[in-house]
Amino acid sequence: MSDIELHHSDSDAGSPALFFVHGFSSGLEDWDPQVAHFSQRHRVIAPALRGHGRSPRGTGDMSMPQLAEDCVALARAKGVTSMVVAGHSMGTRIALDMRRQAPDLVTGLILVDGSNTAGAGKDAALAGFNKGVEEHGYAPFARGLFEAMFFDAKHDALKAKLVARALSVPETTAGPLYRNMIQWDGDEAQAVMQSAKVPILVLQSTTRGADNMRRTLAAGETGAYEALVTKNAPHADIVAMPGLGHFITIEAPDQVNAEMDAWLDKHGLRG
């Protein structure tokens, strides 16, 4: 059982439910365009993860399984019996772990611009993160991470807002969370994807190269995350959204919503 109650929004109508999970040092408001759109037909629940926004930090660890457990506990407490889980960025891991923990509850997965932080090797990734924070501090890391998620000057105001929000999450919360994300990517990601025998939609707009720097996908390109999903969940439907930044739920909400609608219809995931 979770030791806390997550702050959340709940449209309280329609079935199956859609459950939206935000990313690292982010917030439930990143899904506002999707909540507005899909609540016309589905029950939509969007939580703030522990230690984010108005949700308490609690005593549990800042790990992917713990955050997934929190979300499953919330869904069950709200009486949800069937739901499609959409996760953005770090939320893709939480969505996958929710399916592992609650296969009776999670009937589909939407993975929005995921990544593999352990792509160059878990130990090397952890060592690189720890060294960077030790030498330069956590705040410069977080600032650089979020500034690199945008590629168009028209989103400069949004970038400034989301960078400030990320920096408001204490290092005591965000540092362990990022380390645990690397750990999960290295130890769990492939097995959890392989076990996810439900319809999966991947909406991907960015990728990371050998230097681990994020860049927007080029037209026709298959990025690192799509390759990881295809290897471990070959039944997944993958849609590339090149030329965009990381926060496509906000940058291109109409396109994201249309792709989700088409996929939900394709797989009969409607009430």
pLDDT at 1: 58
Q: Is residue 271 part of a domain?
A: no
117-163 pLDDT tens trace = 998 899 999 999 999 999 999 999 999 999 999 999 999 999 999 99
d(CA 261, CA 258): 5
Q: How many domains does the chain have?
A: 1
Cβ-based burial of 70 (10 A; exposed 0-12, middle 13-18, buried ≥19):
buried
Q: Over pLDDT 70: what percentage of the chain?
A: 100
For the chain, report the end-to-end CA distance as a whole number of angstroms.
29
43-99 pLDDT tens trace = 999 999 999 999 999 999 999 999 999 999 999 999 999 999 999 999 999 999 999
170-188 pLDDT tens trace = 999 999 999 999 999 999 9
Q: Is residue 39 part of a domain?
A: yes
Q: Is residue 38 part of a domain?
A: yes
3-state secondary structure of 152: coil
Q: Is residue 190 part of a domain?
A: yes
More confident residue, 184 or 14: 184
Residue 49's CATH number: 3.40.50.1820
Q: Which residue has the tokens 């026709």?
A: 220
d(CA 195, CA 94): 14
Q: Is residue 207 part of a domain?
A: yes
Q: Is residue 2 part of a domain?
A: no
Q: Is residue 87 part of a domain?
A: yes
Per-residue pLDDT at 15 exceeds 90: no
Which structural domain, as residue segments, surrounds residue 134? 8-266
CB 42 within 8 A of CB 15: yes
Q: Is residue 1 part of a domain?
A: no
